[in-house]
């Protein structure tokens, strides 16, 4: 197979500094131990997943393993391509298992995800996988969800005012529109949607479903009762 021979194709870098990198590298090595020849693996977003992609690629080369990834974002697909890992889609295959990061993890292993804006694809892949390994360092554990981060809610742009109005009827303390850092205006997801960041006073067992019942909401970053196993340092 003819490969691209240029800097962007070969240069595998994260977009900024990786916090707690040594801890995350250890977690990445641990998830790579689960890789077997011929497997299809769901690959989530975030810096720890980025390191896990490299660890899996390294193991694959050393042990001559064939591994295929189902990426949850363009960013992840590019990282897999640069690491030499083939990719496919949920339309073509179901994951044998997957891995992903998290912004917050509570004592019941429920999650908040979505700082990277890919929670819709991440939830699709996680729900399709028999098991997903959640890769986190100790800073991600919280006593209650929503302690450190707001809940991201992906919405159709046409529904922005309707959704905000409906959110005010829920137990929320603040609603904001996620703004971009390197472009003017708000963040636009890969599906062309907007992201609201919602601070809840309390996140209950039905909050995930209550959010998704609002017309115009595509998905949200609350992950309750998914088949996950947490790997931490």
Q: What angle do CA 152, 155, 157 make, to 5 degrees?
A: 130
Report the 10 Å Cβ neighbour count for 95. Answer: 23
Alpha helices in 36-149 (DSSP H): 47-63, 74-83, 119-128
- Residue 153 class from Cβ within 10 Å (0-12 exposed, 13-18 middle, 19+ buried)? buried
| Catalytic choice (75, 122, 164, 219) | 122
Separation CA 79–CA 73 (nearest Å): 10
State how far the Cα of 167 lies from the Cα of 153, in Å rounded to an integer. Answer: 11
- Specify whether the CB–CB gap between 69 and 99 falls below 8 A: no
> Any residues with CB less than 8 A from the CB of 124 and at least 6 apart, and which?
72, 90
Instruction: Clarify whether 122 is annotated catalytic.
Output: yes
Indicate which residues carry an active-site annotation. 122
């Amino acid at each position: 197979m003819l490969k691209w021979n240029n800097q962007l194709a070969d240069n595998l870098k994260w977009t900024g500094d990786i916090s707690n990198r040594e801890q995350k590298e250890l977690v990445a090595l641990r998830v790579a131990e689960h890789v077997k020849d011929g497997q299809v693996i769901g690959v989530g977003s975030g810096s720890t997943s980025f390191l896990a992609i490299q660890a899996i690629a390294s193991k694959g080369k050393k042990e001559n393993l064939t591994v295929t990834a189902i990426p949850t974002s363009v960013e992840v697909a590019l990282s897999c391509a640069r690491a030499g890992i083939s990719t496919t889609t949920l339309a073509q295959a179901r994951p044998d298992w997957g891995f992903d990061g998290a912004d917050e993890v509570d004592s019941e292993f429920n999650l908040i995800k979505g700082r990277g804006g890919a929670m819709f694809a991440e939830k699709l892949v996680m729900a399709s996988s028999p098991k997903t390994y959640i890769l986190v360092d100790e800073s991600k554990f919280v006593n209650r969800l929503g302690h450190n981060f707001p809940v991201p809610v992906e919405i159709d742009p046409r529904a922005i005012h309707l959704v905000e109005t409906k959110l005010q009827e829920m137990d929320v303390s603040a609603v904001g529109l996620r703004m971009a850092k390197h472009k003017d205006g708000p963040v636009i997801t890969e599906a062309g949607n907007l992201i609201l960041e919602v601070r809840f006073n309390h996140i209950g067992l039905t909050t995930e479903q209550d959010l998704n019942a609002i017309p115009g909401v595509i998905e949200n970053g609350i992950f309750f009762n998914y088949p996950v196993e947490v790997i931490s340092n």
